[in-house]
Amino acid sequence: YVDDEEGIKKYFAAFHLHDEFPVTVIIDDFGDFFDQRNCQERYNNPRGRDLAMVRTLALCHNAIIHANETGPCMLLLSDTHHGDSPRLLFIYKRWISSIYSIEGDGCGSFLLKNSNYSGRDSSERMSSAKYSIALQYLVLEDLHNFARGVLTHLDLSSCDFHIL
């Protein structure tokens, strides 16, 4: 476990020293590791937090690429935001190939969105699924896929389809 941004940097700076790499590295609440005021002071820049996050993500990215030369290793980041879209999404799009977001719709359902980003041609593929929690079951109500200008929609509201 790490407590702060420096802990993440130290872990990934020494990542190549592992004899065996983990299959998955999870960093929960990634954005919380970066204190706005401390980062601004350290980098003497009003966007110091952004700089610190980019440098840390670059280090994580390079370590995971190195680990994948010998076997599968994935990085899973979580971050929480309140609002229409995360303020730092532009940073995450550069370093994270697949971003999932969960939004409540206010009616007991929630929307799970997945965006896959290709760094080479800056293309984006998106899909979304609408779920509800009914009778202690997770019910898939609706499914959308959008890739290369083509929208595929499947309405599952009349189907008896449960994900357990």
What is the rounded CA–CA span in Å between residue 11 and residue 135?
Answer: 43
Q: Using one digit for the tens of pLDDT, what is the confidence trace for 102-113?
A: 777 777 777 778
How many CB atoms are closer than 10 A to CB 77? 17
pTM recorded for the entire structure: 0.74
Q: Which of 52, 34, 35 lies closest to 43, judged by CA? A: 52
Between 90 and 138, residue with greater pLDDT: 90
Q: Could you tell me if 40 and 4 lie in one domain?
A: yes
Q: Using one digit for the tens of pLDDT, what is the confidence trace for 5-23?
A: 999 999 999 999 999 999 9
Question: Do the beta carbons of residue 5 and residue 33 sit within 8 Å?
Answer: yes
Q: Could you tell me if 6 and 68 lie in one domain?
A: yes
Angle 124-130-131 (CA atoms, 0-180°, nearest 5)? 135
Q: How confident is the model at residue 163 (pLDDT cuts 50, 70, 90)?
A: very low
Mean pLDDT of 51-70: 95
Q: Could you tell me if 61 and 4 lie in one domain?
A: yes
Domains identified in the chain, total number: 2
Q: How confident is the model at residue 148 (pLDDT cuts 50, 70, 90)?
A: very low
Provide the domain limits for residue 33. 1-96
Q: Which of 29, 8, 7, 146 lies closest to 86, judged by CA? A: 29
